[in-house]
Structure 1
Amino acid sequence: MFKNVGKRFAFIAVLALTLIVAACGGSDGDSESSGDNGESEGSNVGDGKSIELVYVEWDTEIASTHVVGKVLEDLGYDVTLTPLDNAVMWQSVANGESDAMVAAWLPGTHGDLFEEYKDQVEDLGANFEGAKIGAVAPSYLEIDSLEQLPEIADQVDSTVTGIEPGAGVVQASEEAVVEYGGDDWEVQTSSSGAMATALGEAISNEEPIIVTGWSPHWKFAEYDLKYLEDPKEIYGGAEEIKTMARQGLEEDLPNAYKVLDNFSWNEEQFNSIMLEIHNGTDPAEAAATFVEENQDLVDEWTADVE
């Protein structure tokens, strides 16, 4: 099974891989090789070559990165999945420290990072279209528009529950709460998991809450939620989730590049694996099941592989 490297050890892992590959001449003796990968199933397109995918630890990116990683693993690649913060993820691909990501939310969420690194990465296009960000609340909340924030300031302590600092949806929310609610409003940053926990607890008790939200996301299947209207369009329009690769990947790993270039799916497919993971299935196990049950889709992603 591919290895998932924690962000604290990402640099060490990359350095170790570099040294081992140099010593072994790029053979299938790479440090992250595994006996139960795609090679054991008869595919050796990757010939044990190493590839590292990076991602931010959002539910969408955990799901998509593990699925792509499993497909590459089944082709015989030695796959490493590394979770990183937003900015470090982009920097890693731009600097060639990692190979690719399927986690670029554009044009809004990662817009500033794309502008900073767009000349250092290769844009492979959208792997999901129709994504959205905004302020999300349970359907029972008394308001339907951000313009009504002052009406419920006391109920939610003039606070929107957010995710990681620096995320595009957090930055947009910080602007939106002041614009619509006033200077007393704030976004309380935490993490994607902490936000989801707070949302679930509030709904269980039918308490008022507003969170930074995005779709696709399992919470829209789990709970009865609504986006608060944003007449000033501070959150922008529809988003795409795009695939970005380091420069030179097509030459170095042409078949892996083809898979990444072909990778795309719809909301139903996306939500199905996110719900599996949310319900307690290990991401790698959920990805393996998804790949097994959606072979026609996988065949589309691997159609150009030689």
Structure 2
Amino acid sequence: MKKHPLNRRIRLAGLAMAAGTALTAGAAQAQDKGSVHLAYVEWSSEVASTNVVRAVLEQAGYEVDMTSLSAAAMWQAVATGDADAIVAAWLPTTHADYMERVGDQVVDLGPNLNGTKLGLVVPAYTDIDSIAEIDENADAFDGTIIGIDPGAGIMSLTENVIDAYDLDEMKLQSGSGATMTAALSSAIKNQEDVVVTGWTPHWMFARWDLKYLKDPKNVYGGAEQIHTIVREGLEEDMPEAYAILDAFHWTPEQMGEVMLMNQSNDADPYENAKQWVEENQDLVQEWLPES
């Protein structure tokens, strides 16, 4: 059933407030094509990709609203029709629980990026090379694995890692992507050991010399993909927007360019996305339907 746009916008705003965020209205003027509502999670990769998709949809004449939510709320918003799409679904492992819960209520358009990876990350100078070595070196890491927001899929996987490898001397500390990279930056500056939850693509691999710890039990799984998920009925309601979302696909290197642009102190992810879209029109044209 098609949701009334105003009611849907009200529900989205309520979800965003519950997540401690605000609804950001698209600045571009729509050309009577309607409004597309994008939900996303506050990871640097998803901030980059969602803003790029926003800029492309606006170029095509849509108004775009963006709502930052927890991963669980993001999936639920698409399932209920309160959001039109996400380009932030990490599958098949990280968001497997969410897909299992609402997969029959959404439409999976397939991967928009291949070659992702999850795991525990340490500075390259750290002596250990495997997760199995962490517990016997717990003191070097202050007995702590630095994580991100507690609702993230990588956090539940890391809890499984702690159990699977009997990391009895370690605890998982939740926080955010920003607090995780701040802890990593501080440790590297002081040549200290630190272990954090990490994923590729992420700008931290371009900034510092890092390494993934080997995961011989394969708890984190192999390489993943980031999928585009849309609400049921979007293809019938807004076929051109659906086609753009379906065509959207880029590489970790291209995503990394945008993520690095967003790391300066005065960075505006939306403005950076618009700039990147302007500078990469050959690729963008592949995402836009033929006129």
Task: Map 1:266-281; keep pairs closer than 5 Å.
Answer: 266-280=251-265, 281=267
Task: Verify the 8 A CA contact 2:12 2:67 in the aligned structure 1.
Answer: no
SS state of the match for residue 197, structure 1? helix
What is the DSSP-based 3-state SS (H/G/I as helix, E as strand, rest coil) of the residue aligned with 2:141? coil
Alignment RMSD: 2.0
Tell me the distance in 1 between the aligned counterparts of 2:64 and 2:230: 15
Q: Distance in 1 between matches of 2:284 and 2:141?
A: 45
CA distance in 2, matches of 1:112, 1:32: 30
Letter in 2 for 1:254: P
Q: Which residue of 2 aligns with 1:63?
A: 48
* TM superposition shift of 1:48: 4.4
Aligned residues: 275
Give CA-to-partner distance per residue, 1:132-168, whole Å, 9 cap, x none: 0000000011100111112311111221000011312
Question: When the two structures are superposed, what TM-score results if normalisation uses the length of structure 2?
Answer: 0.90
Whole-angstrom CA distance in 2 between matches of 1:33 and 1:70: 9
2:289 is equivalent to residue 286 of structure 1: no
Indicate the percent of aligned positions where both proteins have the same amino acid.
50
State the partner residue of 2:216. 231
Partner letter of residue 290 of structure 1? Answer: W
Q: What is aligned with 2:145? A: 160
Check if 1:300 corresponds to 2:290.
no
1:143-292 aligned at under 5 Å gives the runs 143-280=128-265, 281-292=267-278
4+ residue runs of structure 1 moved beyond 4 angstroms?
A: 31-34
SS of 1:118's partner is: helix
- Counterpart of 1:11 in structure 2 is 14
Structure number with bigger Rg: 1
Judged with a 3 Å threshold, the aligned counterparts in structure 2 of structure 1 residues 108 and 12 are, in CA distance, closer, same or farther, namely: closer
- The aligned amino acid for 1:61 is E
8 Å Cα contact 1:33/1:48 also seen in 2: no
C-alpha contact (below 8 Å) 2:118/2:198 kept by paired residues: yes
Matched residue type, 1:195: M
The gaps in structure 1 that reach 5 residues or longer are: 1-7, 15-30
Indicate the residue corresponding to 1:20 in structure 2: none
Higher relative contact order (CA 8 A, sep 6+): 2
Counterpart residue type for residue 253 of structure 1: M
Q: CA deviation at 1:100?
A: 0.2
> For 1:210 and 1:182, how far apart are their aligned partners in 2?
13
TM-score normalised by the chain length of structure 1: 0.86
Residues 10-60 of structure 1, C-alpha deviations (whole Å, 9 max, x = no match) = 22889xxxxxxxxxxxxxxxx9574xx266xxxx4xx24111000000000
Residues 1:76 and 2:61 aligned together: yes
Cα distance change, pair 256–157 in 1 and its aligned pair in 2 (3 A) = same
Aligned to 1:155, what secondary structure does the other structure show?
helix
Superposed, which structure 2 residues align to 1:24-35 within 5 Å? 32=25, 34=27
Partner letter of residue 11 of structure 1? G
Cα 1:225–1:190, aligned 2, differ >3 Å: closer, same or farther?
A: same
CA distance in 1, matches of 2:144, 2:72: 25
